[in-house]
Structures are given as C-alpha cells and as structure tokens.
Amino acid sequence: MRLSFLFSLLAFYLLVTSFTFAQIKVPPHEGRWVHDEANVLSPSTVAQLEQVLKAERDSTSNQIAILIVPSLEGEDIDGFGIRVAEAWKAGSKENDNGVIFIIAIQERKMRIEVGQGLEGVLTDALSSRINRNEVAPQFRQGNYDAGVAAGTMAIIQAIKGTYKGDGPVRRKRGGKSPLTTIIIIIVIIVIMFRRKGGGGGGYWAAGPLLGGGFGGSSSSWDSGSDYGGGGSFGGGGSSDSW
C-alpha cells in the first residue's frame, strides 16, 4: 500500500514538473515598466508610456506595469498574471497599490491584475469595462499603440475616480475549468512539499490561489531602484478577449 502511494506521488511529481517547465518565463523587471516582448509597440509609444507611468508613480506612488507577450503557450492568463504579480511585486508593501496590464497577442487575451490596495477603486467591473470598451476596439484593428495607451490612461483615470467609460458591466470573471483547478492544487502541494524538504528553486505562493494575498518580503528588490516594493495581489481585476 505504501509503495503504491509512493508511485502515485512520483507520478504526480513528474506531471507537475513537466507542467511547470512548460510555463513561459516571466521576464525580469529590471526597472522597466513597459515590457513589449511581442514587439508590437513603436519605440516612441514605449517611451511615452514610460514617462506617463513614471509621472503616476511620482505623483501618487501607484505602480502600473505593462507586459505584452507573443503567446501564453497554453497557460491560463489568470495563472500567468499571478506569477507576474509575484515576480514583480508592483506597489508598495504598505499600500499594495500596484497594477499589471498583461496582453497575450496570439490568444487575443488581456488582463488587468489589480493590487489589493486598489481593488476598491479599480474594481473587477471597471477593469473589464476598460478592456472591452477602450482596448479591444483598437486591438481588433491591429492598433496596439492606441489600445495600450487608451487602456493605460483609463486605468489611471479609474484609480482617480474619473473614468466615465460606459457599456454593460460583467459582474464576475469567468471561472477556471475543473481540470485547471486540480492541476493548480497539485502544483501547490508538490512545490510546498519540495520547499519543506529544502528542494529550493522557484515556487508559487499558495496564498493568492487559495484566496489570500502574496504578502512576501521586498528583500529581493533593490530598495534604491525605481521598481518593486512588495505589493500584494489577491486575484482582483479582469481577464477579457478581443
């Protein structure tokens, strides 16, 4: 019986290991707030967005980051958003005031990942409205410069309470499939087991996946750099298609 259990555990471990290795890599932040890994933005747009986001940080301390990837390579954008949030830790540890705007070109999906401290103003409904009303129409025309710029400005306006976008409100994000949920639970169990046994390596925090925040320490960030502060994310925001 014990031998059968060990074989089962080994099978789960191999499954999770192959699943984890298949995930796309989260690019290092490196002090840049606009990461266009898909090369769909013009250099001038990237420079302008960097200036806008810096002005927002300087005036409000809110930290907004943009990540564009060519493809999710089969990964769910909600799960990818969680991994990006944990890696970049946008926002301060005290205020949890970070936002990450994620765009996957091949899947035609986008997500606004909202830090816990901003969930009251940048709600799931507003995030979905921004994606659908401001960004999607531009993306459908292939105008990524205008779409990303419009989405970024709408996020800033929503945080300030001045965004007036209209249109139907989607009340809830679509849920994950049962298979995705099972895989995530297995990943959490196995990786926590590895950590307990001193296995080392990268890991996902169990808290956000089970309803809590990331918390965590900002010790991995250079306190003298213009990025990262240990902000927490609890799954707020919205994922949409165009």
**Domain spans in the chain, listed from the N-terminal domain onward:** 2-241
Mean pLDDT over 29-36 rounds to 93
How confident is the model at residue 97, as a pLDDT? 92
pLDDT at 234 over 90: no
Pick 182 or 150 by higher pLDDT. Answer: 150
Pick 156 or 196 by higher pLDDT. Answer: 156
Q: Is the pTM here over 0.85, yes or no?
A: no
Mean pLDDT of the chain: 75
Mean pLDDT over 46-64 rounds to 95
How confident is the model at residue 240, as a pLDDT? 87
pLDDT confidence band for 47 (50 / 70 / 90): very high
How confident is the model at residue 23, as a pLDDT? 76
Is 2-241 CATH 3.10.310.50? yes
With pLDDT > 90 as the criterion, what percentage of the chain qualifies? 50
How confident is the model at residue 137, as a pLDDT? 95
Mean pLDDT over 138-166 rounds to 93
How confident is the model at residue 209, as a pLDDT? 30
* HEC assignment per residue over the chain: CHHHHHHHHHHHHHHHHHHHHCCCCCCCCCCCCEEECCCCCCHHHHHHHHHHHHHHHHHHCCEEEEEEECCCCCCCHHHHHHHHHHHHCCCECCCCCEEEEEEECCCCEEEEEEEHHHCCCCCHHHHHHHHHHHHHHHHHCCCHHHHHHHHHHHHHHHHHCCCCCCCCCCCCCCCCCHHHHHHHHHHHHHHHHHHHCCCCCCCCCHHHHCCCCCCCCCCCCCCCCCCCEECCEEEEEEEEEC
